């Protein structure tokens, strides 16, 4: 009996001293430390991975949830080499494993199949060898699987077809061989997903396998024979006899009958000729076989008319400089957002449009809005995207329904980091790089889990195909436009960084980037100037969105404001790159960058306080500005 009480007491003591979350955190920390010891880290990006800490949630490039469980490991583009370790399979709550663009070698551990909460597995642009593990088929929540640009060999596992949630699959540029499994799951993906392998074959790849019959085209359409009316003309003629007289009568009867049956068709044709032409007319996709745009679907205009109820005003989700966006429901029941570009067709613009659409479609990242398809007719240009259930950051900040809760502080931090990752991908991983040119809260969309998704990227270039007489065009919204872009019309990735900094201030304050209503309180109409003014007066609490009801961490607010001010410096050369912004938001390098900036600001202010010889010519840059959207050449 005493031994039983002693055992129970020991268990109770263990639970008190080592609670379950601490045991779990220690296991996850041990697993990640095993990874660190197995990797070569020339840039010391893993310097903060200290195994003596209680849990890994304070390490750079590691994200945890409220239960102190690791849900994200971001080590993309970190110049790491070495091999992965099977202990990674112990990160049971991991949702995102990002190890792309490194020099990691060896096999992909089969233990990754234990990560049943994994949403994204990005191992592309490494030097992995060996087969794709069958165990990856157990990742039932996986949406993004990118293993391209490695040296993987062997067959594609049939188990991968069990992942019904898979949205993006890329196995290209490996040494895979054999038949691509096809039970209907892989039919969503095109040959691009399997391109440049050793010897892949099957219907999905477009290459028949040896010994199998070649793919045959569908049988030609044979129109059904016309249905003869009761008592048709031939039988009437035969019944009337075969001599000339009766033949003449038969001919007259036949002509009368033909006229009788033709009259409705003639009347309908005359009515159509008199009727005004519809504004829309369709060009079926089959008539333009030259358009092959990766995994994009080419929709017919009729499909999108039906989906949006003929572009009804009741289905408008938003308006912008590029056109209107409509909510639609396709024939398969899926919801989409259809962007109807407002510029009309110009002669010779088809090829340029197709090229730019293809460029947009190649940018695939979980924080970028995926282009699902397009439609092109002689009068229409339409882009089809997945429907974002939670709208935009701007709508959640300022236009949400009364029953919807405001964005809490942890969600705003996630939005800041997710949108930075999306923009960094556009700038550093797309070839050629994509400049957004209109980064703002209205163009950061939110999916079902309030994950940030950057929308409208690439559209500025897409819409400029008709501006053949100009080399630059200013596109953007007042309050978000970088000063050098507004004055010269020349954009770069640093103009996006400026817009991102303003978007951060929108997230923190809940206010618009440009708002004449602030004049009522003698405040600046420009959000950036208003924020700087309050910071000079040390009124940080007045900056934060009242909807947060003081439920935020002041130190984190200060850090986000610091990042925003670094991004909105007047000189584009002094602004950080978006990849640097991502690292600062993850806690790496912000303090050093901020200290450098403050020293420069002190010197600048000393210069500005000196008497200016032409002070009479200094004017307020915000005079006579109107809240209009700039969307044309300047």
Alpha carbon distance 55, 58 (integer Å): 7
| DSSP H helices in 240-290 | 244-274
Altogether, the residues listed in the chain come to a count of 634
Question: Of these residues, 438, 456, 464, 545, which one is catalytic?
Answer: 438
Q: Residue for token digits 């992942």?
A: 163
Residues with Cβ < 8 Å from 618, sequence gap 6 or more? Answer: 612
Peptide bond preceding 166: is omega within 30 degrees of 0, i.e. cis?
A: no
Alpha carbon distance 299, 296 (integer Å): 9
Q: Residue for token digits 């008190």?
A: 16
Alpha carbon distance 518, 23 (integer Å): 52
Which residue ranges make up the annotated binding site?
Answer: 339
Is 182 one of the catalytic residues?
no
Residue 433 CA from chain centroid, whole number = 15
Q: What angle do CA 376, 382, 385 make, to 5 degrees?
A: 130
**176: closest CA among 204, 147, 203, 144?**
147
Alpha carbon distance 208, 75 (integer Å): 39
CA atoms within 13 A on the CB side of 71: 9
Q: What angle do CA 476, 478, 480 make, to 5 degrees?
A: 70
Alpha carbon distance 207, 180 (integer Å): 10
**Dihedral Cα 602, 604, 608, 613, nearest 10 deg:** 150
Sheet with 199-201: strands ordered across: 39-40, 81-83, 103-106, 127-130, 151-154, 175-179, 199-201
29, 50 in Cβ contact below 8 A?
no
3-state helix, strand, coil in the chain (%, to 5): 40, 15, 45
DSSP string for 322-336: TEEEEEEE-TTS-EE
Q: What angle do CA 55, 57, 59 make, to 5 degrees?
A: 100
Tokens of 457: 């990227």
Residue 473 CA from chain centroid, whole number = 24
382, 299 in Cβ contact below 8 A?
yes
Which residue ranges make up the annotated binding site for ATP?
Answer: 339
Task: Return the active site residues.
Answer: 438
């Amino acid at each position: 009996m005493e031994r039983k009480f002693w055992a129970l007491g020991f268990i109770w003591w263990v639970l008190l001293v080592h609670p379950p979350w601490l045991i779990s955190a220690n296991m996850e920390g041990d697993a990640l430390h095993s990874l660190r010891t197995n990797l070569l880290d020339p840039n010391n990006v893993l310097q903060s991975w200290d195994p003596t800490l209680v849990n890994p949630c304070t390490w750079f490039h590691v994200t945890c949830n409220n239960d102190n469980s690791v849900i994200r490991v971001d080590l993309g583009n970190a110049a790491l080499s070495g091999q992965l370790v099977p202990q990674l399979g112990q990160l049971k709550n991991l949702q995102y494993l990002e190890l792309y663009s490194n020099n990691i070698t060896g096999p992909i551990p089969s233990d990754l199949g234990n990560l049943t909460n994994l949403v994204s597995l990005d191992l592309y642009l490494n030097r992995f060898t060996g087969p794709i593990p069958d165990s990856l088929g157990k990742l039932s929540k996986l949406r993004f699987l990118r293993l391209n640009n490695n040296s993987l060999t062997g067959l594609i596992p049939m188990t991968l077809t069990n992942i019904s949630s898979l949205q993006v699959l890329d196995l290209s540029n490996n040494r895979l061989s054999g038949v691509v499994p096809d039970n209907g799951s892989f039919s969503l993906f095109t040959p691009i997903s399997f391109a440049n392998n050793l010897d892949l074959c099957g219907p999905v790849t477009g290459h028949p396998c040896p010994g199998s019959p070649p793919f045959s085209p569908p049988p030609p359409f044979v129109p059904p024979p016309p249905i003869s009316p009761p008592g048709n003309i031939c039988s009437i003629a035969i019944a009337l006899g075969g001599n000339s007289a009766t033949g003449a009568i038969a001919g007259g009867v036949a002509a009368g009958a033909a006229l009788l049956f033709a009259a409705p068709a003639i009347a309908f044709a005359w009515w159509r000729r008199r009727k005004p032409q519809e504004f829309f007319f369709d060009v079926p996709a089959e008539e333009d076989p030259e358009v092959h745009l990766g995994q994009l679907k080419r929709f017919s205009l009729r499909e999108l008319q039906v989906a949006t109820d003929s572009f009804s005003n009741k289905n408008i989700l938003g308006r912008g400089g590029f056109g209107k966006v409509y909510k639609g429901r396709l024939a398969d029941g899926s919801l989409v957002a259809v962007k109807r570009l407002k510029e009309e067709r110009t002669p010779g613009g088809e090829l340029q449009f197709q090229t730019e659409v293809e460029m947009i479609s190649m940018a695939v990242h979980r924080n970028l809005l995926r282009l699902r398809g397009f439609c092109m007719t002689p009068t229409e240009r339409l882009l089809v995207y997945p429907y974002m259930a939670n709208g935009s950051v701007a709508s959640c900040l300022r236009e949400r329904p009364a029953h919807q809760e405001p964005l809490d502080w942890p969600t705003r931090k996630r939005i800041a980091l997710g949108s930075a990752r999306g923009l960094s991908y556009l700038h550093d991983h797309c070839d050629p790089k994509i400049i957004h040119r209109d980064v703002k809260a209205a163009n950061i969309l939110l999916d079902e889990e309030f994950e940030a998704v950057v929308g409208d990227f690439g559209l500025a270039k897409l819409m400029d195909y008709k501006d053949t007489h100009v080399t630059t065009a200013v596109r953007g919204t007042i309050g978000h436009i970088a000063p050098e872009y507004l004055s010269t019309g020349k954009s770069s990735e640093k103009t996006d960084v400026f817009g991102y900094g303003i978007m951060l201030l929108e997230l923190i304050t809940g206010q618009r980037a440009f708002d004449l209503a602030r004049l009522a309180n003698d405040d600046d109409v420009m959000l950036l100037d208003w924020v700087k003014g309050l910071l000079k007066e040390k009124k940080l609490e007045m900056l934060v969105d009242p909807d947060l009801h003081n439920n935020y961490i002041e130190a984190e607010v200060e850090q986000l404001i610091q990042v925003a001010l670094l991004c909105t410096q007047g000189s584009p050369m002094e602004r950080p790159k978006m990849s640097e912004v991502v690292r600062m938001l993850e806690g790496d390098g912000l303090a050093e960058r901020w200290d450098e900036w403050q020293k420069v600001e002190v010197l600048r202010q000393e210069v500005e306080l000196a008497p200016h010889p032409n002070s009479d010519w200094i004017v307020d840059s915000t005079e006579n500005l109107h809240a209009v959207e700039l969307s044309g050449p300047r």
